Amino acid sequence: MSEVAVKSGHPKGLWVLFGTEMWERFNFYGMRAILTLFMVNALLMKEEEASIIYGGFLGLCYLTPMLGGFIADRFLGNRNCIMIGGVMMAIGQIMLFFSASIFGSNLGLANALLWGALGIIVFGNGFFKPNISSMVGSLYPKQEKSKLDTAFTIFYMGINIGAFLGQFICPFVGDVKNEVVMADGSLNMIRDVHAFKYGFLAAGIAMILGTVLFYVLKNKYVVTPEGRPIGGLPSGHDASDYEEGESMKAEFSMKSIMITIGVFLAVFAAFYFNTDGTNVVKLYIYPFIYASGVALATLILLDKTLTKVETQRIWVIYIMSFFIIFFWAAFEQAGSSLTFIADNQTDRNIFGWNMPPSMVQIFNGLFVVMLAFPFSLLWDKLRAKNIEPLSTVKQSLGLLLIALSYFIIAHNVKDLGTSGLLAIKWLILLYLIQTVAELCLSPIGLSLVGKLAPKRFASLAYGVFFISSAAGYALSGTLGSILPATGDKFKKAEELGIDLQGVLDKTISPTAEQLKLLADNQINDHYKSFAGFEIQNLYDFFMVFVVLCGLAALILFLLTPMIKKMMHGVR
């Protein structure tokens, strides 16, 4: 590739990584769209349990990039880790396919396959995720780092084309409801629980395609302007890749490692002993995620080679990562609570077609595909006029918008009662606003890490960034589990001869037999609470996200002047 071509456009390697990530996101988001519905309807889990597992699974998916980044930086290189991750995720999807094929005859084995598949996907994602993002940043020489916001926005569009395809095709073949004539002659839509396997199979095929694409094209296009391979073995790094005066190797003493271990144990214990209940995911996985994030952040800061400027820039990454937790905690309700609401208390009729509930998430991917390029042009034009907002301002705006989306939906569910249906247009509007928020926040965060992180910490710094997503997903699982009873629960309780509203309000004392009936039908007999507040209805539930994200947006905006100084000229 010539120097002129490099300066006038984006390298072809960006499009190889774009395509690889697109198929991987098809695989991930397609599986994610139907996962909780599969757990509830085929494996007979409670919605609360499915939400907690979902949050823990996503959290681990964004925790293991720490391990994948470390292995790439020290041993295998980005390329090999991407190949390993792609193969592992494909195997995980095939295991989900078999789980969804045998649950009717062997529920125990189906559950075992589910847990095994999720574990393999977790580690596969850990190898894949930080390394492909790191390679995008490495495509651009030092003098072209200003293009990274645009590059990551284009890359993010690839992510969401894949998400759109996965969230359309996997639910289309896997979340199927058939019209059935009931005994009284009425028509009812009954879910075909055996169709989930086809959704998982489609996700597996997509992952295989993405892995093959990368394997075939990486040596030709994923290279520096001079033609050297990007993401090879760490021993092949060249000194010219580093900033002037920048250390090429991190140095961690035994003392720093011991301090890091102590920090991990202290944070784990703090969360463990303040967690109620007996759920294994809540008791062990969530504290492990939070403790890992704090411990890794501590370890990097203990590196002896860090300069004052590098240290302050790393602190900027940490501050931004902390606020991203609240964004993902709200945004990732899409795969749990919002999917259950779409399934149980939403009129999904679109021009005579009853959209599968797991497909409602598709609007996020669709809107990103439509809006990513205009946003890329917007940042370019604002940058050319020297009026582009700082990354902190962009992320504050993203948090504010997500608070707005939940404020609108909260007021539209306020008067639904237990039998009303939410119009699907409000969920579509929610996803539109959240898409704009996402484009202000997520790709800009990826770009910021690429600009601020010392090269010797490149993949590991992305690991820290993704751990903030992991913490957000863990929090999303906790928040999703407080979803109050939706209309279908009240209807089912009525069929069982139980006044669920009276039970919840404690105006009726249920018998032991009634309590068992409610438990057997996955219906809670009490209101849940968060931070001391009882969540009695959907309005209360959605206002939790309004308050969390609104406060986070305000605080981050107020911190902008301080953060600007700590960035030392990086925008």
**Rounded-to-integer distance, Cα 427 and Cα 134, Å:** 34
Q: Which residues contact 69 (CB under 8 A, 6 or more apart)?
A: 130, 131, 134, 459, 460, 461, 462, 463
Separation in Å, CA 229 to CA 11, 75, 146, 172: 13, 16, 22, 40
Question: CB of 271 within 8 A of CB of 291?
Answer: yes
Question: CB of 190 within 8 A of CB of 177?
Answer: yes
CATH code of the domain made up of 11-231: 1.20.1250.20
Distance of CA 49 to the CA centre of its chain: 18
- Stated as kind and residue range, the H or E segment containing 10 is none
pLDDT computed for residue 243 by the predictor: 53
Residue in 488, 360, 480 with CA at minimum distance from that of residue 425: 360
Distance of CA 567 to the CA centre of its chain: 27
Mean pLDDT by 10 residues, the chain (571 residues): 50 88 94 96 92 94 81 87 96 97 96 96 91 80 68 78 92 88 68 96 97 91 79 62 53 84 96 87 93 87 84 90 93 93 92 91 86 82 85 91 97 88 95 92 72 74 79 93 91 91 91 90 89 91 96 95 86 66
pLDDT computed for residue 384 by the predictor: 86
To 5 degrees, how large is the angle CA 62–CA 65–CA 71? 165
Q: Which two tokens stand for residue 445?
A: 């965060």
Residue in 113, 54, 121, 131 with CA at minimum distance from that of residue 91: 121
- pTM of the entire structure? 0.85
According to the 3-state scheme, what is the secondary structure of 437-498? HHHHHHHHHHHHHHHHCCHHHHHHHHHHHHHHHHHHHHHHHHHHCCCCCCHHHHHHHHHCCC
Strand runs labelled E in 219-365: 346-347, 349-350, 353-354
User: By CB neighbour count within 10 A (0-12 exposed, 13-18 middle, 19+ buried), where does 249 fall?
Assistant: exposed
Backbone angles phi, psi at 524, to 5 degrees: -75, 145
pLDDT computed for residue 6 by the predictor: 43
**Rounded-to-integer distance, Cα 328 and Cα 63, Å:** 14
Backbone angles phi, psi at 185, to 5 degrees: 90, -5
Separation in Å, CA 498 to CA 83, 416, 447: 54, 21, 54
pLDDT computed for residue 185 by the predictor: 63
At residue 177, the 3 state secondary structure works out as strand
Residue in 443, 393, 320, 313 with CA at minimum distance from that of residue 560: 393
Distance of CA 264 to the CA centre of its chain: 23
At residue 395, the 3 state secondary structure works out as helix
Question: CB of 434 within 8 A of CB of 363?
Answer: no
Q: For the range 520-525, what are the long-range contacts, defined as Cβ-Cβ under 8 Å and sequence gap of 24 or more?
A: 521/492, 521/493, 521/496, 522/40, 522/44, 522/45, 522/46, 522/47, 523/485, 523/489, 523/492, 523/493, 524/48, 524/485, 524/489
**Rounded-to-integer distance, Cα 22 and Cα 498, Å:** 48
pLDDT computed for residue 2 by the predictor: 42
Per-domain boundaries in the chain: 11-231
Alpha-helical segments (H) within 103-221? 107-138, 148-174, 196-221
- Give the sign of the dihedral formed by CA 550, CA 552, CA 556, CA 558: positive
pLDDT computed for residue 3 by the predictor: 44
Question: CB of 461 within 8 A of CB of 317?
Answer: yes
pLDDT computed for residue 183 by the predictor: 64
Name the residue with tokens 């993010």: 156
**Rounded-to-integer distance, Cα 387 and Cα 192, Å:** 54
**Rounded-to-integer distance, Cα 392 and Cα 487, Å:** 40
Question: CB of 87 within 8 A of CB of 480?
Answer: no
Q: Which two tokens stand for residue 67?
A: 């391990």
pLDDT computed for residue 368 by the predictor: 81
Which region, left, alpha or beta, applies to residue 532 given φ > 0 means left and ψ of -120 to 50 means alpha? left
Q: Which residues contact 222 (CB under 8 A, 6 or more apart)?
A: 13, 16, 17, 79, 135, 139, 229, 230, 231
